[in-house]
Structure 1
């Protein structure tokens, strides 16, 4: 058996792990690279094997860095099934269509403004190519053995993080391989705690926050204070957020604050073409989260959901105080860029960063104190105040990641630390060895291991 790391090795994006036996070849996740240009350029190349020779894909969840390269995989010849949970299938469809639209719009804008370095800017994939993925998506139930090609069996079990997200245990050649996907937190406001694996010969564990602990703060109180302070100054609060689940978690906290009379009477806007679809995922899958159907309905009434760009322009032109939740979460694209174009130079504006920001993203630059950021080819001076609310992260911290392996009944042969920047992954390696004595490895991009 061979395992090759072709994504999310030394970085938190582009999740792709290739597993090969004498009979079968399959991928765990098929994500898009984001962040610094050398990573983004990897999206344009082929994977190191013929896509047509990959038998199937196991998808842990529907975030772009885990599913966003599927249209390229299909375009390059993949025709197998893509196994995932029901909410993940719905989210993946939303994410891929949104991603394709953004890429088409960005290419069109670059061509109209002649701002591309290429003679003709092209999208990484189109909406039609995104839709080509849909017939291959195959729903599986959690905690149920799925029989696959070559005698392989897979079991999906809850990972927290976002609705529908699962870790995956795969039986291959008599060995148990456990892929964590992204691990959520025990105290998530909307989701059940992650389920811990009981047996693993090889572990593939995310390490996003492998070098830090989340602060013991109250994110609900922080939201309240930042909004009230910005309101007193007559400013706008902009919250870059993933459109599915993270946005709903923030909305839930804002809804609670509103019910408790702790927020001013101002517009609360969710600006995303996926906004309505994201709510439908929660409405359709109430067994996957803590909210009741009636709560979903009541919560949605508090927010103005902008789907078309005309509504976005109207919200931007209304300079009164407001709170805007807009994708993308790392400020790599999406409607949030239009708001920042117009508001980042206003001192009364508050930008709240509520999730992990990968290296090279605008979100990372803002929390590191950038004085200006580039949007659509233009540089904008940062006069807005930028704050980070770590308590809203969807990823477990170092202690959570170590604890996730606490119920193993056997000693794994090796633990691979993936989906983390090198420093974070290496710090987790040291802590994991101190705590369990496990043999840990931080693989490099393209590195292959044979067992």
Structure 2
């Protein structure tokens, strides 16, 4: 049996891991590369194997870096099933349609304004191609073994992180392979703690924050201070929000702060159509998170939820102080770019980042104090105040990742670290070896191992 690291190795995006037996091929996740141009260009490359030869996909969760290449996979001949939980199916459908819409819009804009380096800019995939993926989803219940192919079984178990996210234990050829997906935090605002694996011959563990500990700070207090300071300056607060789970977490915390009288009565705006749709997924899947029906309804009342782009432009033109949550979370696309075009050059603007910023994204550049950023072919001076609230990350930190391994009753033959940049992954490797004495390697893109 061979395992091939097609994506999500040496980087935090593009997750794709292939299991190849003598007669079956199973792909774990099928994500989009984001960030550095060299990585984004990989999205246009064919897979090292024909999609038509892949028997099925096991999908850990619905974030773009785990599911965003599925339309290409289907368009290039994949005909198998995509196994996932019910919330993941709902979220992935939203994410893929949103991604396709943004790509079509940006390609059209590049052609109209002629800032593309290509003769004719084209989207990576279209809305029609994204819609075609939905019929391939096969919903599975959590915590129950599912027969995937012949003697191959899989168990999906809660990983925290976002609604529906799971780690997947695959039993194949008598071996137990555990794929972590993205591991959430043990003390997340909305998600339950991740379920820890108890047996594994091989573990494939994410390492996004492999070298970091989230600060032990009161995130509500941080948000309260940043928002009040911004309003005192008569400024606007922009929170680039991942539309799934982080947006809902921020809404929940801001609702609590406003209910407690700790932030002022100004407009609070959710400008991400996908984020609004994700609220319905929360209401339909109450067993997957900590919010009650009343919580969902009450916190939603506090926000003006924007659907049409004309509303976005009216909000941008309104000079009064406000708090805006707008996607995308890494500022790689979406409505937040329109806000940045207008507000990033104003000294009384406050930008609050609340999640991981991949290498090469505008978000990473801003938290690393870039003086200018490029949006739609134009450069904008950065005069806004930039902050990062690390305590709101949906990813577990080094301590959480080490804790996730703590329930193993056996010594795995090897732990492979994926979904992390090289330095964080290597620091986590050292920690795992020192704490557990497990053999541990950092996976490299394109590498193949035999087990």
TM-score where L is the length of structure 2: 0.99
Structural mapping, 1:240-251, within 5 Å = 240-251=240-251
Residue 273 (structure 1) shift:
2.1
- Distance in structure 1 (CA, Å) of the matches to 2:444 and 2:289: 36
Q: Is 2:330 aligned against 1:330?
A: yes
- Distance in structure 1 (CA, Å) of the matches to 2:80 and 2:313: 42
Give runs of ≥4 in structure 1 deviating > 6 Å.
Answer: none
| Structure 1 residue aligned with 2:175 | 175
CA contact (8 A) 1:247 1:325 kept: yes
Q: Is 2:237 aligned against 1:260?
A: no
| Structure 1 residue aligned with 2:271 | 271
| Structure 2 residue aligned with 1:35 | 35
Q: Is 2:399 aligned against 1:427?
A: no
C-alpha deviations, 1:257-314, integer Å up to 9, x for none? 0110111011110101213311111111111111111211111111011111011001
Structural mapping, 1:4-153, within 5 Å = 4-153=4-153
SS where residue 168 of structure 1 aligns? strand
CA contact (8 A) 2:270 2:276 kept: no
CA contact (8 A) 1:268 1:324 kept: yes
CA contact (8 A) 2:89 2:137 kept: yes
Q: Is 2:429 aligned against 1:439?
A: no
TM-score where L is the length of structure 1: 0.99
CA contact (8 A) 1:3 1:20 kept: yes
- Distance in structure 1 (CA, Å) of the matches to 2:250 and 2:83: 29
* Count of residues paired in the alignment: 451
CA contact (8 A) 2:247 2:275 kept: no
C-alpha deviations, 1:36-67, integer Å up to 9, x for none? 00100000011110100000000000000000
- Distance in structure 1 (CA, Å) of the matches to 2:207 and 2:444: 14
| Structure 2 residue aligned with 1:295 | 295
C-alpha deviations, 1:307-366, integer Å up to 9, x for none? 110110011011110000011111100000000000000000000011000000000000
Q: Is 2:322 aligned against 1:319?
A: no
Residue 241 (structure 1) shift:
1.1
SS where residue 3 of structure 2 aligns? strand
SS where residue 178 of structure 2 aligns? strand
CA contact (8 A) 1:31 1:65 kept: yes
Q: Which runs of 5+ in 1 are unaligned?
A: none
CA contact (8 A) 1:275 1:307 kept: no
CA contact (8 A) 2:145 2:155 kept: yes
- Distance in structure 2 (CA, Å) of the matches to 1:224 and 1:374: 30
Q: Is 2:351 aligned against 1:351?
A: yes
CA contact (8 A) 2:55 2:81 kept: yes
Residue 123 (structure 1) shift:
0.2
C-alpha deviations, 1:160-181, integer Å up to 9, x for none? 0001100000001000000000
- Distance in structure 2 (CA, Å) of the matches to 1:289 and 1:176: 28
- Distance in structure 2 (CA, Å) of the matches to 1:276 and 1:406: 37
CA contact (8 A) 1:327 1:334 kept: yes
- Distance in structure 2 (CA, Å) of the matches to 1:419 and 1:221: 31
Structural mapping, 1:388-399, within 5 Å = 388-399=388-399
- Distance in structure 1 (CA, Å) of the matches to 2:326 and 2:427: 33
Root-mean-square deviation (CA), in Å?
0.6
SS where residue 374 of structure 1 aligns? strand
Residue 23 (structure 1) shift:
1.9
CA contact (8 A) 1:275 1:305 kept: no
- Distance in structure 1 (CA, Å) of the matches to 2:315 and 2:410: 56
